[in-house]
A = this chain, B = another copy of it.
Amino acid sequence: MRKIEVGFSPVFFNVYDSPNDSIVVIIDVLRATTAICTAFKFGVKEIIPVATIEEALSYKQKGYLVGAERNGLKLDGFDFGNSPYHYMGSNIKDQTIVLTTTNGTQAIETAKNAYKVVIGAFTNLSALCNWLAKQDKSVLLLCSGWKNKLNLEDSLFAGAVVNEITKLSEYDEISDSALCAKYLYNMAKEDPDRFLHHSSHRRRLAKLNLKQDIKYSLTLDLTDIIPILIDNKLVKMKI
């Protein structure tokens, strides 16, 4: 049976019935999964997501390029934060990057044993949905949220995916969580930026003067690349 479910926070992963038979889409649109898609668009070879700063530091000491963000800010001593604009330089081409973020890389860690783990962002929405709809598998849209709480922008993106893939393919079951996300998306889609105006993380980023990042992160279809987790490394999916 092919179904669609949305986990509005990583804590939902452990109540999900069938991770071993599902494609899990990791969502952290502001900004980790957008940054990851951007890095692949600009030619990175692979990204090693790690959950803790300690692991990131250990890679840094071994000479890796390392991105590290907590609470919206790049950590001192590392090469990048989680702004997509940090991943547009020629210095990343064909490189391996290690990445740890407040929410997104934790969600990847939580889901790593699922059947397949892929990365979703508005910037690869159509490519992702076209691919998902062709797979004979259930889909779990796993929102990274903010410190295990729901956030509006990831929920909205989950709704965008539900909306698209149910147009492209027939699923046997659309869970209440997926309906909820889809309703939100259909309410917001004319003006997502306005819809997110009151969201907590948007306010958090606006304080950090990251309006440019928000605008970029809400842009559709800048790339056809779908990053996929293979042997604990994110690589460009071969389609």
Contacts and interface: CB of A to CB of B under 8 A. Distances in A.
Contact of A187 (B152, B174, B187, B198): B187
A15 interface: yes
Contact of A177 (B12, B150, B176, B201): B150
A149 B180 contact: no
Q: How often does this chain occur in the complex, in copies? A: 2
Interface in A148-198: 148-152, 155, 173-177, 179-180, 183-184, 187, 198
A9 interface: yes
A219 interface: no
A16 to B, nearest CB: 8
A199 interface: yes
A147 interface: yes
A194 to B, nearest CB: 13
Contact of A148 (B8, B15, B180, B184): B15
A15 B147 contact: yes
Interface in A121-169: 146-152, 155
A181 B15 CA distance: 21
A15 B9 CA distance: 10
A183 B175 contact: no
A12 B11 contact: yes
A217 B192 CA distance: 34
Contacts of A174: 198
A149 B173 CA distance: 14
A200 interface: yes
Contacts of A173: 200
Contacts of A155: 176, 180
Interface in A17-40: none
Given A146-B176, A176-B201, A183-B184, 10 more contacts: A8-B150, A8-B177, A9-B12, A149-B176, A150-B175, A152-B176, A152-B179, A152-B180, A184-B184, A187-B187
Interface of A: 5-6, 8-9, 11-12, 14-15, 146-152, 155, 173-177, 179-180, 183-184, 187, 198-201
